[in-house]
Every structure is written in C-alpha cells, then in structure tokens.
C-alpha cells in the first residue's frame, strides 16, 4: 500500500510535504511509510474493537472474567504489529533517508496520545458493538474518511483555513504531523497540538471506562 500511495501521490500527483526544503520523492515515500504505519494502528483498533466482546460469548456468559481485557487485547494485537512497523520505519529512515537526529528521541513522546485515545475508543466501540452490530460495518468507511482527514499524504500547513477550522480538532492529525517532524524532518515538536491530543486522549479514555462499565451488566443478556 505504501508503494501504491507513493506512486499515485508522489510520482503522478507530484505530492510533497510542505516546510521541507528540497524534499525528494524518496523523502515523501518515507513520510507516507511513517504516516501509514501510525494510521494503520488507529484503523485496526477501529475495525476490530466492535467485535472484541461479541466474538467471545463464552467468556461473557460462563466465566468470571474482567471483560475490559477483551478490548485491551485488541489494542495489544495491533500494538505488536505497530511496533514492528515502527522499527522498519526507523531502519528505513536511518539507511535510506537523511538519518536520525536528536529530535528522533522525541518520537516516542509524539506517539503517547495514541494509547489513551485508542484504548478509550476500543472500550466504547466494544461495548456499543454488543448492542449495535452494524458498528463494525461502519468502521471501514469511517477509517477511510479519517485517513484522508489526518494529514497522511500532506502537511497540516497545506490545509485551507476553512477546513483547518474543523480538522485541527482531529488528534490523529497532530500525532502524525509531530511524528514526521521529529523522526523525518529533525524539527522541534509543536507542543500545543500534541498537548491537546494527549488531553483529549485521556478524556476519551475516561469516557470509555464509564461507558463500558455502564453497559457491561447487560452483555450476557444480549449475547
């Protein structure tokens, strides 16, 4: 998929990330590689979470079991693949790109908002998925919309002001943008966007815990 996106957006549409002087198609490809890696973690969480409880009816009905572990396991599965992909991204940037600077040490920090955010989303989606089985069908189209609104193929500076009014509230956009800045472009972190994403992530996490605990007593009856 990275190769397809690079050919389409990098070679055919001559796509580039703004704010990067003399960026080549290879630089753009590495940017897509990093961005897609991060977004794939988000996408897998969105797609798999709605069925994490529904797919384990025996655990819900017959076993005294902390059901919160089911969406957490979904995050864990996606996280393993994400970490492997991140390692490949770092190797690719170190060997094919401009190398790694000191700003790369902040790369893990830019990813921090993802974990409370995705765990909260997983808890909400898994709980609602018990009662609304069509949520999983909506996850695919929602993931596609989110990908094109999260600055995967472009820089946030390229977004027209009218659209930025709404897209600036997308925490995934800030995580992807700051990750590229630190790991690829060796630029400082923009703390405002990252701080907003982290705060929103914990708000979503607390909301997810509340929703899951509120709906959990009815799981066995519905399943």
Say which residue, 101 or 173, is predicted with more confidence. 173
What value does the mean pLDDT take over residues 146-152?
92
User: What is the overall mean pLDDT for the chain?
Assistant: 89
* Exposed e or buried b per residue across 76-87, where buried means at least 16 C-beta atoms within 10 angstroms of its C-beta: eebbeebeebbe
Q: What is the pLDDT of residue 170?
A: 96
pLDDT class for 133, splitting at 50, 70, 90? confident
Instruction: Please answer whether residues 184 and 27 qualify as being in contact, where contact means their C-beta atoms are separated by less than 8 angstroms.
Output: yes
Indicate the range of 12-16, 102-106, 133-137 predicted with least confidence: 12-16
Q: What is the pLDDT of residue 124?
A: 95
Residue 100 pLDDT greater than 80, yes or no: yes
Of the chain, the percentage scoring pLDDT greater than 90 comes to 56
Q: What is the pLDDT of residue 3?
A: 79
Closest listed residue to residue 169, CA positions, set 124, 120, 139, 203:
203
Residue 41 neighbours by CB distance under 10 Å: 23
Residue 19 pLDDT greater than 90, yes or no: no
Indicate the range of 46-60, 68-82, 153-167, 198-212 predicted with least confidence: 46-60
Q: What is the pLDDT of residue 63?
A: 66
Question: How many helices, marked H, and strands, marked E, lie in the chain?
Answer: 11, 0
Q: What is the pLDDT of residue 82?
A: 94
pLDDT class for 21, splitting at 50, 70, 90? low
CA distances from 91 to 31, 79, 94 (A): 13, 18, 5
CA 137 to chain centre: 19
Length of the chain: 223
pTM of the entire predicted model: 0.90
Residue 2 pLDDT greater than 80, yes or no: no
What value does the mean pLDDT take over residues 49-61?
84
SS3 183: helix
Q: What is the pLDDT of residue 219?
A: 87
Residue 15 pLDDT greater than 80, yes or no: no
Q: What is the pLDDT of residue 80?
A: 93
Q: What is the pLDDT of residue 83?
A: 94
Residue 192 pLDDT greater than 70, yes or no: yes
Say which residue, 158 or 221, is predicted with more confidence. 158
């Amino acid at each position: 998929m990275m190769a397809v996106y690079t050919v389409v957006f990098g070679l055919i549409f001559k796509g580039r990330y703004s704010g990067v002087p003399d960026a080549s198609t290879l630089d753009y490809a590495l940017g897509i590689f990093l961005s897609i890696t991060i977004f794939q973690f988000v996408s897998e969480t969105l797609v798999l979470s709605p069925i994490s409880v529904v797919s384990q009816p025996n655990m819900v009905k017959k076993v005294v079991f902390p059901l919160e572990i089911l969406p957490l396991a979904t995050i864990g599965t996606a996280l393993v693949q994400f970490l492997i992909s991140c390692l490949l991204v770092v190797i690719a940037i170190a060997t094919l790109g401009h190398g790694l600077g000191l700003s790369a040490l902040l790369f893990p920090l830019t990813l921090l908002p993802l974990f409370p955010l995705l765990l909260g989303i997983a808890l909400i989606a898994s709980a609602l998925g018990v009662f609304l089985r069509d949520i999983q069908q909506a996850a695919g189209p929602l993931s596609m919309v989110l990908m094109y609104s999260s600055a995967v193929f472009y820089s946030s500076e390229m977004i027209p002001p009218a659209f930025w009014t709404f897209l600036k509230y997308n925490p995934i956009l800030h995580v992807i943008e700051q990750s590229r800045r630190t790991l690829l472009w060796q630029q400082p972190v923009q703390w405002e966007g990252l701080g907003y994403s982290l705060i929103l992530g914990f708000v979503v996490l607390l909301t997810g815990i509340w929703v899951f605990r509120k709906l959990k007593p009815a799981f066995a009856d519905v399943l």
